[in-house]
Chains A and B, each alone.
Chain A
């Protein structure tokens, strides 16, 4: 897998495209120096690769909680998971969550990022605000929205303030709104943050190109989509993959804090199911089958996004 960072805006010393970084000459000792990577690799293998591999083993065990002895049952867990309506609900919820959050977030973020890049009036304030969710942790986000969305909270207060009492709902406790509300929180956090990243990437393309197009009479929309967008397409594709993975994998924490998968199974996503099965329902084999499924969906989705947003130009510079 090629480094996603090759498409990211490289950090300061490497950014200037007209001045490519001079490569360090590789001496004959270039192979021996690789011993320096051994500690990092060892750490990486023990704490990340090892646990990742262990998922596949645990998926074949009947293991009723960490204090019990596991027994090998082969593919029994897989058939159990596939037959479970909760798993199907989780697949559906994850598909809805990712299927709405990512396609809404990325174009919005690109357009807002382009807007920020043109340095409109007050763009400093805008970029600070847009950046804010990036500083806020999941547990802080959860406590904010716990207040904002509770039956007597800010949203309902605002609705009754403007006379829309009929829309007042216990947002997170109503099965028909809970998942949509969580998707809204994903968007609330993600759009502005991603826009700032897009703006940063856009500012590294030569401004003359866009100005020339404007002088030639191209409309703003045309410049934004037909000239600027192709130039940053591979970065957009990287951000899309990252947002996809974050939404898919990390929704567990927010759900744990706000809805615990409910009401019913209406907000049980794949990643929450992994957590809930292991720690609340003490069924580790089941949990890790879902974990493996999550991993497979994640990798498949990444390849799909890559194929959909394949850059026509290998290097956009």
Chain B
């Protein structure tokens, strides 16, 4: 009882200064956010004519066919599989590269270590988009243009700066006694990393995984130009806009859009707290 009463008491102290204008404005903005999303969902179940004539009404006839049409027309199944595969490999590569690097940076405080950290920080602030065209040329030279493989190699690189910086912070929380004890026992660097640092930094690994999963899943421009638009290799983000040009059927387009965001929202409802934490920690949006 008391345990429940206490946070409530605190809350009332915080909100003592009621703010009717702030409250109203915050709901107005929420409405502006929600309306397009609502429009999307109801449109997904309507015919073109009904979307035009009664944009915000519930569908008079629930047109579930739109979903199957979108699914086949944009071959979303294949696209989802492609995206999932790219994400899986890219996340694995990111972790394999970032975990040892952050371990080293957490354990070393030399000038070189600080220079490396500085390089990754700078990389974090320069969006890779700046170098889109040279990246395409690199893909061509590696013989990996219009393949999923290049994206699997490239995405980890774009994720490295943030992943290394975040993981280093987590690695620094390892108590020094543990490290000293391990050193005394003559445990090597690799085993120290795997058996001491990795378990303690696990929340960081989860954070980085969620954060980069979302970024990789939502990546558009690089997928479009490097992986390309061929149905065999294209990602779901590239497949979706083809519905714009394939047809002017808004219902089908909306249904495809719903299908594309659904996996993200499903994951979000299951682990919303973790995702919020991850994205807040990263302060980066897809």
Contacts and interface: CB of A to CB of B under 8 A. Distances in A.
A307 interface: no
A133 interface: yes
Given A25-B180, A36-B100, A154 B157 contact: no
A143 B26 CA distance: 25
B97 interface: yes
Nearest to A148: B36
Contacts of B117: 3
B192 to A, nearest CB: 9
A1 interface: yes
Nearest to B12: A119
A51 B56 CA distance: 47
Interface string B147-178: 00000011011101100111001111111100
Contact of A3 (B30, B130, B165): B165
A56 B167 CA distance: 32
Majority secondary structure of chain A interface residues (helix, strand, loop or mixed): helix
Contacts of B265: 135
Given A11-B204, A154-B56, A140 B257 contact: yes
A301 B148 CA distance: 35
A153 B130 contact: no
Contact of B157 (A47, A253, A278): A47
Interface in A116-157: 116, 118-122, 125-140, 142-148, 150, 152-154, 157
B82 interface: no
Interface residues on A, range: 35 or more
A246 to B, nearest CB: 7
A41 interface: yes
Given A40-B100, A119-B14, A48 B158 contact: yes
B153 A47 contact: yes
A40 B164 contact: yes
A309 to B, nearest CB: 15
Interface in B82-132: 96-98, 100-101, 103-110, 112-113, 116-132
B100 A37 contact: yes
Interface string A19-51: 001111111011111111101110110111111
Interface stretch (A78-86, A91-99, A174-182, A284-292): A284-292
Interface in B255-286: 256-257, 260-261, 264-265, 268, 272, 275-277, 279-281, 283-286
A132 B276 CA distance: 11
A144 B244 CA distance: 11
A89 interface: no
Question: Size class of B's contact patch?
Answer: 35 or more
Contacts of B39: 144, 147-148, 154
Contacts of B257: 140, 143-144
Contacts of B33: 129-130, 132-133, 188, 192
A253 B123 CA distance: 21
B212 interface: no
A245 B55 contact: no
A274 B129 CA distance: 10
B120 A44 contact: yes
A39 B176 contact: no
A118 B14 contact: yes
B230 interface: no
Contact of B203 (A13, A58, A298): A13
A162 B16 CA distance: 37
Contacts of B81: none
A22 B268 CA distance: 33
A88 interface: no
A308 interface: no
A14 interface: yes
A11 B277 contact: yes
Contacts of A310: none
Contacts of A58: 133-134, 137
Contacts of A300: none
A37 B260 CA distance: 36
Contacts of B250: 147, 150, 153
B108 A30 contact: yes
A55 interface: yes
Interface of B: 10-11, 13-17, 19, 22-23, 25-27, 29-30, 32-37, 39-40, 43, 51-52, 54-56, 96-98, 100-101, 103-110, 112-113, 116-138, 140, 153-154, 156-158, 160-161, 164-166, 169-176, 179-180, 183, 189, 193, 203-204, 207, 214, 217-221, 225, 237-238, 240-241, 243-244, 250, 253-254, 256-257, 260-261, 264-265, 268, 272, 275-277, 279-281, 283-286
List 9 tightest A-B contacts by C-beta distance, closest first.
A157-B55, A47-B157, A137-B218, A51-B134, A51-B131, A36-B104, A40-B101, A54-B134, A36-B100
Given A11-B277, A50-B138, 4 more contacts: A21-B173, A36-B193, A188-B32, A295-B126
